[in-house]
Amino acid sequence: MTDIREINEKIQSESAFVELLHMEMGKAIVGQRHMTDRLLIGLLSNGHILLEGVPGLAKTLAIKTLASAIHAKFSRIQFTPDLLPADLLGTMVYNQKREEFTVRKGPIFSNFILADEINRAPAKVQSALLEAMQEKQVTIGDQTFHLEEPFLVLATQNPVEQEGTYPLPEAQLDRFMLKVIIDYPSKEEERAIIRQNLSLDSTQVQPVVSSNEILRARKTVREVYMDEKIEKYILDIVFSTRQSDQNGLGNIRRMINYGASPRASINLALASKAYAFIKRRGYVIPEDVRAVCFDILRHRIGLTYEAEAENITTDAIISQILNAVEVP
């Protein structure tokens, strides 16, 4: 067993900070391991995350804690119907003293951005954010500014209040690498949350990893070995969303309006590598693909009206696909 030893050893040393990061985040956040893992996947794969969950599930705290643990700048933007792109990106301000326009940068110039309730702002603000996410640069007036790395946007959506919202179009949803659904904590976790919040001891999250280490880890993630069999497995899954009559999945064909894009295949492969890295492994196994599959695909599959009428979710369709596609 020698072939993979080198890459495994490299991953072992490079991913040492992952446990430290988890421990540090655990000081402020109880449970929500799924969410913190996905935050790391987004961070390591240079992707952005759309979080969906009811209020009060520590979404803001999670990204704030992550920013503190990495010693990075953090901004929180509350999206409202009257928000303007300039409020987000920045604007030109006239300086009377100097008699010239100067640039005032907006809150997007941070490493970690929490775009809270992104669907409450009109399309032009959403577009401004998503463009910045994609291009990693912002133009104000005639000057273009590159956004500082690492740059991670965590947008949140509230699944219960849909009145007065501007749902994100499918094309923009596709730009989020992961769509994570956060559930309530368990009883034990919630007890620990109560105790932690009522305690007089205030725990300070200390920086345990530098931005440079994260950037280096990003490169290492891409070196994680992915066998052809795994690539085929990823393609089988993604293609099943488009040609669902394969693998005996004819029954879900009428439920799918449109399948996942090639961006889904890319992101599924990259997220699988990142997950293997978090698990401190130098190669991808089918478990890694399955672990991130729901988060990668759930916002990339369009349901038909028929499926919506029958309350069938994309998660149910992904489950069916995973149960039908043969594991290598």
Return residues touching another protein (CB under 8 A). Answer: 1-4, 8, 225, 227, 229-230, 282-287, 290, 322-328
Nearest approach, Cβ of 5 to another protein (angstroms)? 10
Cα separation of 328 and 324, whole Å? 12
Q: CB–CB of 178/41 below 8 Å?
A: yes
User: What CA–CA distances, in Å, run from 249 to 219, 261, 266, 287, 316?
Assistant: 37, 19, 23, 22, 13
Nearer to another protein, 43 or 276 (CB): 276
Closest CB 318 distance from another protein, rounded Å: 13
Three-state SS for 310?
coil
CB of 317 to another protein, least distance (A): 15
| CB 303, min distance to another protein, A | 23
Least distance from C-beta 8 to another protein, angstroms?
8
C-alpha distances in Å from residue 124, one per residue of 19, 87, 88, 121, 283:
40, 12, 11, 8, 41
Closest to another protein by CB, 182 or 284: 284
CA atoms within 13 Å, Cβ hemisphere of 108: 31
For another protein, the closer CB: 2 or 311: 2
Which of the 8 DSSP states describes residue 184?
P
Nearer to another protein, 83 or 325 (CB): 325
CA distances from 188 to 8, 260, 318, 328 (A): 35, 37, 30, 37
Q: Closer CB to another protein, residue 91 or residue 265?
A: 265
DSSP 8-class letter at 176? S
Cα–Cα distance for residue pair 43/67, rounded to 1 Å: 11
Give least dist CB 228 to another protein, A.
10
CB nearer to another protein: pick between 72 and 230: 230
Minimum Å distance from CB 153 to another protein?
31
User: Which CB sits closer to another protein, 75 or 272?
Assistant: 272
In whole angstroms, the minimum distance from the beta carbon of 256 to another protein comes to 19
3-state SS, residue 318: helix
Q: How many CA atoms lie within 13 A of 224 on its CB side?
A: 30
CA atoms of 1 and 12, how far apart (whole Å): 16
- Whether cis (ω within 30° of 0) applies to the bond prior to 207 is no
Nearer to another protein, 77 or 230 (CB): 230
Residue 104's H or E segment, with its range, is strand 100-105
Q: For another protein, give the closer residue by CB, 225 or 239.
A: 225
User: Which tokens hold the place of 186?
Assistant: 């368990």
64 contacts 195 by C-beta, under 8 angstroms: no
Rounded to 10 degrees, what is the CA torsion of 3, 5, 7, 9? -170
Least Cβ distance, residue 251 to another protein (angstroms): 15
